[in-house]
Amino acid sequence: MNTLEEQYEVDNIFDNMKEAELQTPSNTDTSVKNVVLENAPSMLSPEWHDYAMTLFQEDELVNGHPLVTGLRRVSELVLGPMKFSGPTWVKPTDRDDHHGRATVIFTIEFANGLRCSEVADSWEGNTDDMFCAFAVAIASTRAEARALRKVLKIKGVAAEELTKKDTAKIVRDISKQN
């Protein structure tokens, strides 16, 4: 058992500490911070792409290709909050369509008025087998990634747009059959 002196030290352990204020949204600045460097290149300059790619975290890239989650975060970091983001036109797969092709137009609008739409499709020839059953969702994600890449002026493709399949060969083979 503790002596009286030891108990007193334990009971008064915080006496000499300043009273700390709990950080909550009501007493903390939660506004958007400008973390983009002031000396960042213009989005219209040739250096922009390389700079923009430094804004992605390591877990937001797959073999150097940005994931759509990273594209969302970086676009709001650079352009401000989104006012709207979602599919604005969807053509789901048809039973008569032996490829199971889905096409989606995805639109993004930022609070500053910037608006961008892009289209993408997904079918068995351009989608890895484990995702073919989700043609509409894959098409939507690809279209969103394209719209975000467009507004961010990022070169290349997003990770979700890639497939391990040889799409060119698949299309050639189908063309020969038809």
Residues 128 and 163: beta-carbon distance below 8 Å: yes
Amino acid at 39: N
Instruction: Report the interhelical angle of 68-79 vs 135-152 (nearest 10°).
Output: 30
Whole-number Å distance between alpha carbons of 59 and 81: 22
The pLDDT value given to residue 11: 59
pLDDT reported for residue 154: 96
| pLDDT in the model for residue 10 | 53
How far is Cα 38 from Cα 3, in angstroms, rounded to an integer? 60
Please tell me the predicted confidence (pLDDT) of residue 95. Answer: 66
Scan for tokens 């594209």, then name that residue. 71
Encode 51-88 in three state secondary structure: HHHCCCCHHHEECCEECHHHHHHHHHHHHCCEEEEEEE
User: In which residue ranges of the chain is pLDDT below 70?
Assistant: 1-37, 95-99
At 103-125, the pLDDT tens digits run 999 999 999 999 999 999 998 88
Q: What is the per-residue pLDDT for 15?
A: 60
**Do 67 and 158 touch, CB atoms closer than 8 A?**
yes
Instruction: Read off the amino acid at residue 156.
Output: G
Instruction: Output the pLDDT for position 32.
Output: 47
Q: Say what the pLDDT of residue 91 is.
A: 93
H/E run at residue 49: helix 48-53
* C-alpha span between 128 and 133 (Å, rounded): 10
**Secondary structure (H, E, C), 88-133:** EEEECCCCCCCCCCEEEEEEEEECCCCEEEEEEEECCCCCCHHHHH
